[in-house]
Structure 1
Amino acid sequence: MGRSAFPSAVIENVQPLLDGGRYPIKRIVGEDLVVEADIFKDGHDVVAAVLKWRVLSKPAWRETPMIFVDNDRWRGVCTLYDEDIHEYTVEAWTDTFRSWQQEFIKKFEGGISDLQSEALEGAAIVGAAAGRAPDREDRQRLLEFSEQISTSANSEIYAIAQSGELEVLMATCPDRSNAAQYDPAPRVVVDRSAALFGAWYEFFPRSAEGCGDRGST
């Protein structure tokens, strides 16, 4: 397998992998796991992605945003604190808000005056996000933004689209209904830090010089 395709995004060339994911990689407790992947989709929509990881015996995933590196390459970093077998994967989706934001800004700056359909689309996207917001105050604020986008002049919508507050609110409740996930999830064996020293020490036994009465380390 090693490739996940949805209408949203394609995820491939995930690293690190050992023999294409056939065997688990190894890390020590407290060490960072840096994961990269090629993530792309058709068209000009904006993609968002997260690195997900969990202890194999636990159902809940933890996640952290991935950042765009170059071309189609993305990177995410997590720290592994549990001495156990973990699995990790990448999830990606179309960022509908960022896609709308870029399109509206581009058209407004290009001098297009008829942006009514774009305004209604933006209001719908923000209004839908209000339904996913976990916090009541955030829901109310998103509904206010949605109303402003649907009723304001283009110049005002242009300013709202670039609002830092709106960007933060939308980032907390993205629409991931079209998400793709890399499958099967690779595994990583996390061992205690002492195991690293132990492996080195055992490689140089005290009898390596062949003298039983004195050590070699």
Structure 2
Amino acid sequence: MNIRMSLIAAAFMILAGCTTTTTDLLSVALDKQSPGQFEKIMVMAISDNEQVRTIVEQSLAGKIASTGTVALAASDYVPGHLASMDKETLHRHAEEAIRENGADAVLVTTLIDNSVRDQYTPPQVNQVAMPVVEPRFGNYVGMQYETVMMPGYFTSLQEVYIQTTLFDTATGHAVWKAQSKTINPVSLEDGVKNFSNVMVPRLESDGMLGGGN
């Protein structure tokens, strides 16, 4: 393999290694009249997939607990497929769990959309420095520039949109709401961890978590 082909191969390896999970907050709204500082939060993921529900709830609850706020996974108290329940049944089960555990807030996550789309990167032309040995000058190593063309390519982007809402159990009102987008989760666990690492610090900075205060 010549130097030029080696450079092209290395470039593609770098591109392949640059696919990382990222979560962006698209919007955040909070009730400025709410005192926040909730001490005990139940986390509820609305999903009919038991694995997804358990991983989401435990990840968020664990991250919230790390701030000093007590957090509970609703799957430990409200069994069943939440997404298939009618609203009245879901509310009844949630209220029973809240009364049992004394949670002063409920954090609810709902999947809005999960889609895959192709993104095209056009061809790129770069000037690459190439070492050149000049024996006439005592094996002096100089540099010359050659044009290397990177062909265009497609990459698939998975985009997961989630709405997260925090409810005050005393009033039943939503006091904090966010929409987020997680791109290219390597796995379910990886995507949920990345999501939790973005969502919980924002809840904390917005004064919704009372741990340690």
TM bucket (normalised to shorter chain) is: under 0.3
Where relative contact order (Cα < 8 A, 6+ residues apart) is larger, the structure is: 2
Task: Name the structure with the higher strand share.
Answer: 2
TM-score by length of 1: 0.23
